[in-house]
Copies of this chain bind each other. A is one copy, B any other.
Amino acid sequence: MLKLTKKADYGLIALRHLASIPTATASTKEIADTYHLPVPLLAKVLQRLTQTKILISVAGTNGGYRLARDASKISALEVVRAIDGPVILTHCFTDHGSCDQSDNCTVREPLRRVHEAILDVLNRFTIDDLAEPVAQPRASKLTPLPTPLHQVINSLQPVSN
């Protein structure tokens, strides 16, 4: 649970790689070789990223992929959604909209909030961020007192799905 799929992993790795060579293009094979990833699988991941306008593909000899926009404009959430489909926390606010319970179920609404909080984290994280190991080597307990959850929640910006 709460596990990134390998595909998403591969996608992030590839994107991060492409971000490091902003002008040039890299082929599936190149990237796969560099990071020892299964070629055909990575290929499909890159295809999907192209479909979703995150990458641009260049066919032909010396072709390959390059980012469709700046690395700072591509969020991890977008990538994950492109590859793995919509992110779903509970089964209750999906397809048909509600399980048999949705009325007397007390858990539904609150869980949706956790859901959004998580999406928000993913949303703030860009491919850019994947590159730099961050100034402060290790995050530290700057907030010894745990921030109450509702505060965290209230600072969220709406993220659909």
Contacts and interface: CB of A to CB of B under 8 A. Distances in A.
Contacts of A87: 1-3
A133 B154 contact: no
Interface in A87-119: 87-92, 100-101, 104-107, 109-111, 113-114, 116-118
A49 to B, nearest CB: 15
Can you tell how many copies of this chain the complex includes? 2
A9 B91 contact: yes
Contacts of A133: 109-110
14 contacts: A1-B4, A2-B89, A13-B106, A36-B101, A76-B114, A110-B133, A113-B134, A121-B152, A125-B149, A134-B150, A139-B154, A142-B154, A146-B157, A147-B155
A153 B139 contact: yes
B105 A13 contact: yes
A38 to B, nearest CB: 13
Given A16-B106, A121-B121, A142-B155, 18 more contacts: A1-B3, A1-B87, A2-B80, A3-B89, A6-B91, A9-B107, A12-B111, A34-B104, A35-B101, A110-B129, A110-B132, A111-B130, A114-B121, A118-B118, A126-B149, A134-B150, A140-B154, A142-B154
